[in-house]
Amino acid sequence: MLICAAGVPVTLAALAVILRKTPPQMNIYKWIIVNLTVTTFVTDFTICFLFDSLPLFPDIACYSKAWLPNVSEDANYIMLCVCIIMLQMTLCSTLVAFIYRMQALGHAVGPFPNMTGFGTFIMALITYFLGLIPVIVILITSYNSPLQMRKTLEHFPDLKFLENYGSYLVAEKDDKKFIEFAAVWLGSAFIIVGLCMVVATIIITNLHKRRKSMSSRSLELHRSLTIHLILQ
C-alpha cells in the first residue's frame, strides 16, 4: 500500500517527462507509452490498494480487509474481475508497445509479416480484443453466487472466520469453474508474454543485422526502448 502511495508522484513525474520531452517524430509511441504507464499504475493501485487481497494458501480462498471489497457479498468477485482485466490490459499494452517498436524498424519479419499494413489503432484494437475477450468470458461463466460459496465454506472449518467479512472467495480444489478460469486466464497471459518475447527477439535480431546501416544514436535509442519494454 505504501509502495502504491509512493508510486503516485513517480508516475506523475514520468508522465510529465513523457508528454513534454518526447520528440515530435515519436508522437504515436508517446501515447503508447502513456497508455502503458497509466494502465500499469492503475493496475498496481487497484490490486494493492483498492482490493488488497489476502490469499489463504493452500486453500483456494481469499478475502480482504479493505473497505471496497466488503461493501456487498459480490464485491470480492467484482474486484477480482477488475484486477484480472487490468492485468490483461497491462500485458496487452506491453505487447502493443513491442509490436510498434517492431514496426518502427520497418521490414517486420517472423510471425507478423502483414502487421505493418495495419494502422496503429487497428493493431492495438485487435491486440486488446484477443487479449481481453477470452478472459472476460471466462470471468462471467466462472461466477459463483455467495450462496454457493457459503455452502463450499461449510467444507472448510478452518475458514469459518471468513463469515465475519462482508465478502470473500472460496472454491473447492477440484472446482470445474475454477480450473477452467485458471486455464484460460493463465493460458492467455502466457501467450501474450510469449508473443512479447517473440517480438522482442525479432527486434533484437533486426537491430543486430542492421547495426552497420544505422546511426549509433538511432541504434542506441532502439536498444534502450527495447530493454525498457523487456524489463516491463
Measured distance CA(119)–CA(74) in Å, rounded: 40
The DSSP element (H or E) to which 76 belongs, if any, is helix 75-105
Rounded to 5°, the CA angle 87-38-207 comes to 85
- Full pLDDT tens readout for the chain, 232 residues: 555 666 677 778 878 888 887 777 777 778 888 888 888 888 888 888 888 888 888 888 888 888 888 888 899 999 999 999 999 999 999 898 888 877 777 644 444 444 444 566 788 888 899 999 999 999 999 898 888 888 888 888 888 888 888 888 888 888 888 899 999 999 999 999 999 888 888 888 887 777 777 777 777 777 777 777 777 6
Angle subtended by helix axes 2-21 and 27-45, to nearest 10 = 170
Which pLDDT does position 118 carry in this prediction? Answer: 52
Residue appearing with cell numbers 488488497 = 52
Domain 1-231 falls under CATH 1.10.860: no
Residue-level pLDDT at 115 = 45
Q: Report which of 189, 147, 183, 168 is spatially closest to residue 60, judged by C-alpha positions.
A: 168
Per-residue cell: 79: 474486484
In the chain, domain spans = 1-231
The model's pTM: 0.82
Cβ-Cβ contacts under 8 Å for 87 (sequence gap 6 or more):
43, 47, 189
Q: What is the largest CA-CA distance in the chain?
A: 68
pLDDT of 186: 93
